[in-house]
Structure 1
């Protein structure tokens, strides 16, 4: 096995939790069926994944299930890993689609202007279904600093046939009056809060101030029951390590301390409704 199985994934600052999980599963499927793998080595690399993406509930759920599958074994064959991944994917493959269907059944999108933030596989799934149904609301997509992954989502939506307005989230005051509602994904949610890309909180506050709906699209796997995890693990989920300073300030300045974070906690009281697969 490669000494660094998930190298490219660990360096991915652009993808949401769904895309990261998909990449991990594809990597695990890449082993030859007959190859015998050292499980302690695999577990060490799974730990690195979780340390890098502690706030991605989808990844947490998958890795927890995988660790249980690997328990009480010393080695595992590639074919067994592939079978595990395929069984897991089959069990959960329709959850995003069902959440999207629930959203469309309960929300009017035709003729609407919709705000999107960051880059979410759940949002992409929803808008792919809209395009198939010939529903084309107007999109207001934020750039989503500091790594600007919102641009990737804007390009994806434009290729589906949507008209997209791309702007920096800091300029929301210029456009909020002409936008009908905000739609966010979520990387993690629990009790009365959810965690999402930095910038979601002020956007939600803006829409709350103007009495406009804020919706969140998220699978139930992303909801964490605090009674099922330790306080230490929960704190790891919600407290993020600072990201590279050069993303904000390319050159080093002695008396400037750069604070760069990707995620934040948002109170659910600013959300009009959560949409899941149920």
Structure 2
């Protein structure tokens, strides 16, 4: 079967196994394949219009579309390079923050659904010398936990598939819960259904929860499909790790104070150097 740019777009839109960071990485790869194509602008415009059908809960996807669509017909490929370069270091910064929070091991982490940011962070922890094992939930509906498990093992991580709600006895052996997220505000974050129950169970045992993402996932108001996602309020012991540092709600803190702490830093809107006056990439 011949893979075309358009069939790649179909595959990305139809994907239900991966998170928004993975989808954007695939979108960037597909778009880059059109460099040098005389019909690239028209094909990209069609693709961007179709990508808009992806659930609005996938905040990183729509950040990418909003940032790059204005450059279509201009220096799109230069802008694409600037965008990818800036955001590609988020997993590295997340790993640095998590490493500071965890002992060298043995560490057993529980994770839910299939988040590329989480997988990249876990691989980074292993490479940094943490004695790591992972429990990956089955993640129903959809069962994408099996795909996540396969990827974890491919990277050499000791990983085991577990039910979406392990028993309290089993959870006693878990060091922490590590989740991805699709979007967040100062009050709550959105992730796959089942996340709220896991957060409640881990916090009842006094275990920390780390929610990984990047500032592109910050939104003014949450919006998502109730069938697959749910809201989880920020609470003491649930830490937001965005690559810009770590923030945690503290009992008694007013919401406006939490808003101040989790507000992401805004990156420069233009690339440095000669391309700066031609690239209109919005990084934050």
For the criterion TM > 0.5, the same-fold answer is: yes
Structure 1 position 12 matched with structure 2 position 7: no
Which residue of 105, 114, 117 corresponds with 2:109? 114
Residues matched between the structures, number: 241
Deviation at 1:190, TM superposition (A): 1.0
Output one character per residue of 1:230-260: Cα deviation in whole Å (capped at 9) or x when no partner: xxxx5xx62317xxxxxxxxxxxxxxxxxxx
Which residue of 176, 184, 200 corresponds with 1:181? 176
CA contact (8 A) 2:92 2:121 kept: yes
Q: Name whichever structure is richer in helix by fraction.
A: 1
CA contact (8 A) 1:140 1:164 kept: yes
Structure 1 89/132 Cα, relative in aligned 2: closer, same or farther at 3 Å?
same
1:247-262 map, 5 Å: 261-262=227-228
Secondary structure in 2 matching 1:84:
helix
Which residue number corresponds to residue 245 of structure 1? Answer: none
User: How large is the Cα RMSD of the aligned pairs?
Assistant: 2.3
1:14-33 map, 5 Å: 14-33=17-36
Structure 1 81/5 Cα, relative in aligned 2: closer, same or farther at 3 Å?
farther
TM, length-normalised to structure 1:
0.78
Which residue number corresponds to residue 124 of structure 2? Answer: 129
Structure 1 position 212 matched with structure 2 position 207: yes
CA contact (8 A) 2:189 2:234 kept: yes
Output one character per residue of 1:148-169: Cα deviation in whole Å (capped at 9) or x when no partner: 1111222222233332221111
> Once structures 1 and 2 are overlaid, which stretch shifts more, 187-196 or 4-13?
4-13
Deviation at 1:30, TM superposition (A): 1.2
Distance in 1 of aligned mates of 2:8 and 2:135: 37
Which residue number corresponds to residue 188 of structure 2? Answer: 193
TM, length-normalised to structure 2:
0.77
Distance in 2 of aligned mates of 1:262 and 1:109: 35
CA contact (8 A) 2:109 2:178 kept: yes
1:125-274 map, 5 Å: 125-224=120-219, 226=220, 234=221, 238-240=223-225, 261-269=227-235, 271-274=237-240
Distance in 1 of aligned mates of 2:52 and 2:170: 38
Deviation at 1:35, TM superposition (A): 1.2
Distance in 1 of aligned mates of 2:40 and 2:151: 37
Structure 2 unmatched ranges of 5 or more: 245-284
Deviation at 1:7, TM superposition (A): 0.7
Deviation at 1:109, TM superposition (A): 4.9
Deviation at 1:188, TM superposition (A): 0.8
CA contact (8 A) 1:192 1:268 kept: yes
> Once structures 1 and 2 are overlaid, which stretch shifts more, 161-170 or 19-28?
161-170
Structure 1 181/262 Cα, relative in aligned 2: closer, same or farther at 3 Å?
same
